[in-house]
Structure 1
Amino acid sequence: MTATVAELAAGYRDGSRSPVEATEDCLAAIASLDGRVGAWQSVYADEARAAAEAAEVALTLAAGEPVGPFWGVPFALKDIVDVEGRVTTAGSAEWAGRVSPATGTVARRLLEAGGVLLGKTKTVEFAMGGWGTNQHMGTPWNPWDAEVLRTPGGSSSGSGAAVAAGMAPCAVGTDTGGSVRLPAALCGIVGLKTTEGLLPIDGIVPLSHTLDTPGPLARTVLDAALMFDAMLGTPAAEVERDWLAGDGRYGAMRAALERGLGGRRIGCLSDAERAGVDAAQLAAYDAALEVLVGLGAEVVNFDPPTSFEEMKNTRFVIVTAESYHYYGELMEDPTSKVDERVRARVLPGASITASEYIAAMVQRRIDLAEFAAAFEGFDAMVTPTTPMLPLPVDEADETNTPALFTRAGNFLALCSTTVPTGVSPAGPAGTAGGLPTSIQFMCRGGDETLSLSLAAAYESARGPMPNPPLWAGGEQ
């Protein structure tokens, strides 16, 4: 079984685990399972082994000196993140031979923190889609159903599926309207949408430079936090001290575990915003709110000044105009081998005028100010991450999106942690059960520590999640 990031870090410290063994475990899981799941675009087996051996030597030479908890940890990159000399397809058959000229800062930081790169994971073409599908490069299989191909969530589909299936402890995704949180939710793992501008986006193929944010996907909140610090470029000794001694981010997370959430005021969906949410998802959401109340939080209705549905209009202009700027020429070419559903999402950008684009950017500033005023006195807003459970791919409406609740986090420049709430019961008439349900903790921009702390407290109270049917080492 693939260990978590925290388990690996602790095992490396006491000598019970080694980077070489951890990397071999991941590569063995990929070899045995990815033929079913299809999460990987490319696997760097030889290079990963060499990096793991180097990490192991460095641990020996360090002789107890702190190297940071990400040292020797295997990880994956969504295939829109550049690594010098490697192909980055961005999920496009047209880019199958595109070699990256340089390594993006986020990828470089993870490597400098001692991470072992396993390879690249699949993505929706140019990250433009929430269901996780890709006509030409392949749609990963959601590990929670071994019989039916269900939506893995997008656009970081391969990252979500690879981590959920135990083929990697953690992976990088990107989030423009939910593309970290949607695969995290639909694949039953943790995802962190970081604050706009906090992490550099150089060396990441753009979708919307205004709203793009990279973030970690992992199996636990602590793992997401550890990877987040590596992505920030936090010095190893500082992370080690924080994690072991209880200072900083990890101290705040532990305090939430120990003291509960007394004094925290959390907004929840109003009756109007609950309309249309799948019954199983809504039941899991309400149960999660009861857990938060039991932890001491005050949970009250919060109505954003602009509804979740209405926010999509201004965001649509921004994302569509910017995506057309980057990919309009390719999408306008009828002979180009692109995903036709992505083509249909990008081409409307041709008709957006400069005046409409500027008006949308101005309106966003107004909406940001109005939301900030209404959010005074609240620590977080908690919503279901998606309105629905993972759908069979052939039932997903590609003209719509599962991002009703997630896109607000990007539009309003918030940070947000998605955490599983459990799995659904079997429904009537043989409707599939055992599918993951999820909530997200949306906090003000820059409040990642608070968002992670709230999620960690909830995660601890929730208890362990089961493994999905498609899990490293064989079907469960």
Structure 2
Amino acid sequence: MDVLTDAQYPSLCALADAYAEGRLRPSQVVRAHLDRIERLEPAIGAFQAIYAEDAMRQAEAADRMIDAGNRLGPFHGIPFGLKDICDVEGRVTTGGCQALSTRVSPETGTLVHRLLAAGGILLGKTRTVECALGGWGTNQHMGTPRNPWDKARHRVPGGSSSGTAASTACGMAVCGVGTDTGGSVRLPAAFCGLVGLKVTEGRLPTDGILPLSHTLDTPGPLARSVEDALVMFRVMDGAEGWAIERERRAGSGVFADLRRDVIGLRLGVLDAAERACCSADVRTAYDAALDRLRSGGAELVPFSAAAPYADLAAACGQLIAAEGYFHHGALYDRPDLPMDEHVRARMLAGRDVTAADYMASLRDRLAGRDDHLDRMEGLDAVLTPTVTTTAPPLDSVDEAVSPAHFTRHVNYFGLCALSVPSGLSTDGLPTGLQVIARPHEEAMALRIGAAYERVRGPMPLPAFA
């Protein structure tokens, strides 16, 4: 069996079942992914570093453990990518900065420990926007990964988890770790036709992850299906592999929610003013998704946020810049360092934020969150497009504008959200549906996403497949 030429790429869960039933071995799967990396990586440019020899050693060890009846759970033997802001002891972690190209990680963070302890096989570090500050996925010095959905033009993959999304979308990895401060998991998920989960503020550990905004940073999974994202989320959340396996097999716990429909759910939808911010293709995909959920029994209710999403995005951006400058300003204050000039402009905006402005931003954030949650009262979730347009060509990106119009307020208010592919535009590019839920209601977002995924049907493969 050629594990990478099926009608669909093998999902995390399909591989887990194949391992459990003895139809595939991790060494076969990892070897196949490394072969695909060798073929596609020169064109895609998703990886900052590739750990081929170590990955094969880990895969062969996984073979032996599974042969001996010691399978750890559904993540055992799964090849994944890791955003290059996550520390792995003894490995270089650049944070997307050429100026940090020799920075060796002092220790491995909790999140990575959990993934490796669950038997995950780290293929390598994936590229990121410099210091994770940017939504398009561009990087002047370290390289901008190519969106796998277009062979003719270099389109952006979305950021800042650009390499994780690009590698997963074209089958060089089964799934991967991203981080989301204003949309950096969900934006690349939407642009690259993937599922991306932004978890509740504080839900997952962030030690061992280079900070951008310590208030807003949240790590999260990028995967090809809602169930795959859930498995990875459970591992990242600290659940034992055997418990995840038992729940998944029995359809119990949070996995029970994936099998539920949307009958009786009340879902908030965009008002007319916010709809006007979207391109025609995005509106068409959004309306088609709403129709499917309405036909499935959901009640759709017009919803207006606590303020226009553009204003909330700007408020979030100010907080990101202030905290980002606190963490990284010393790099950007030095004109002699090879920093991305687009990121430098965004980062140095934080230098002008006074202490009074910063404290007012934190105060306004809490007051706005209370108002927003009051507006969500009686709703099970709110639905928006993830992005206002499909992925633009690299040479047409306006770096002064962020694509995070609909995503930043989720971080600003500490909510959770899921981006799930909602089909293709007229020119064959993915669109995304964002399901926004209250804090700690990831199960509801995943439930709605899975129900929509079933009625949407399978997504085609990208051009680079």
TM-score range with shorter-chain normalisation? over 0.9
In structure 1, C-alpha distance between the alignment counterparts of 2:317 and 2:83, rounded to whole Å: 24
Matched with 1:474 is none
Matched with 1:439 is 433
User: Tell me, what secondary structure is at the counterpart of 1:119?
Assistant: strand
Matched with 2:108 is 103
Matched with 2:387 is 386
Contact 1:314–1:363 under 8 Å retained in 2: no
In structure 2, C-alpha distance between the alignment counterparts of 1:87 and 1:305, rounded to whole Å: 42
Contact 1:261–1:292 under 8 Å retained in 2: yes
Matched with 1:328 is 329
User: Tell me, what secondary structure is at the counterpart of 2:167?
Assistant: helix
In structure 2, C-alpha distance between the alignment counterparts of 1:316 and 1:186, rounded to whole Å: 21
Deviations 1:143-189 (A, max 9, x none): 01001011110000000000000110100000000000000000011
In structure 2, C-alpha distance between the alignment counterparts of 1:162 and 1:264, rounded to whole Å: 35
Deviations 1:449-473 (A, max 9, x none): 11111101100110000000012xx
In structure 1, C-alpha distance between the alignment counterparts of 2:296 and 2:284, rounded to whole Å: 19
The one of 224, 228, 240 equivalent to 1:223 is: 228
In structure 2, C-alpha distance between the alignment counterparts of 1:3 and 1:43, rounded to whole Å: 21
In structure 1, C-alpha distance between the alignment counterparts of 2:239 and 2:95, rounded to whole Å: 28
Is the counterpart of residue 405 in structure 1 residue 410 in structure 2?
A: no
User: Tell me, what secondary structure is at the counterpart of 1:62?
Assistant: coil
Matched with 1:70 is 75
The one of 95, 98, 122 equivalent to 1:90 is: 95
Contact 1:321–1:349 under 8 Å retained in 2: yes
Is the counterpart of residue 12 in structure 1 residue 19 in structure 2?
A: yes
Normalised by the size of structure 1, how large is the TM-score? 0.95
In structure 1, C-alpha distance between the alignment counterparts of 2:16 and 2:314, rounded to whole Å: 44
Matched with 1:430 is none
Structure 1 segments, 4+ long, off by >4 Å, are none
Is the counterpart of residue 273 in structure 1 residue 274 in structure 2?
A: yes
Normalised by the size of structure 2, how large is the TM-score? 0.97
**In the alignment, residue 44 of structure 2 is paired with which amino acid?**
V
> Aligned residue pairs: how many?
458
The 5 A counterparts of 1:175-186 are: 175-186=180-191
The 5 A counterparts of 1:154-169 are: 154-169=159-174
Deviations 1:335-373 (A, max 9, x none): 110000000001111111101000000000000110111
The one of 189, 194, 207 equivalent to 2:194 is: 189
Residue 56 of structure 1: how far off its partner (Å): 1.2
Matched with 1:147 is 152
In structure 1, C-alpha distance between the alignment counterparts of 2:421 and 2:318, rounded to whole Å: 31
Matched with 1:37 is 44
Contact 1:3–1:22 under 8 Å retained in 2: no
**Structure 2 residues without counterparts, runs of 5 or longer:** none
Is the counterpart of residue 133 in structure 1 residue 127 in structure 2?
A: no
User: Tell me, what secondary structure is at the counterpart of 1:135?
Assistant: coil
Matched with 1:116 is 121
**Structure 1 residues without counterparts, runs of 5 or longer:** 426-432, 472-476
User: Tell me, what secondary structure is at the counterpart of 1:250?
Assistant: helix
User: Tell me, what secondary structure is at the counterpart of 2:254?
Assistant: helix
Residue 399 of structure 1: how far off its partner (Å): 0.3
Deviations 1:277-304 (A, max 9, x none): 1100110000000000011110111011
The alignment-based identity, stated in percent, is 49
Contact 1:317–1:356 under 8 Å retained in 2: no
Contact 2:313–2:404 under 8 Å retained in 1: no
In structure 1, C-alpha distance between the alignment counterparts of 2:32 and 2:300, rounded to whole Å: 42
**In the alignment, residue 33 of structure 2 is paired with which amino acid?**
C
Deviations 1:218-269 (A, max 9, x none): 0111110011111111012211111001111111111x2xxx2111100000
Is the counterpart of residue 357 in structure 1 residue 389 in structure 2?
A: no
**In the alignment, residue 314 of structure 1 is paired with which amino acid?**
A
Computed over aligned residues only, the root mean square deviation of the Cα atoms, in angstroms, reads 0.9
Matched with 1:319 is 320
Matched with 2:338 is 337
Contact 1:387–1:402 under 8 Å retained in 2: yes
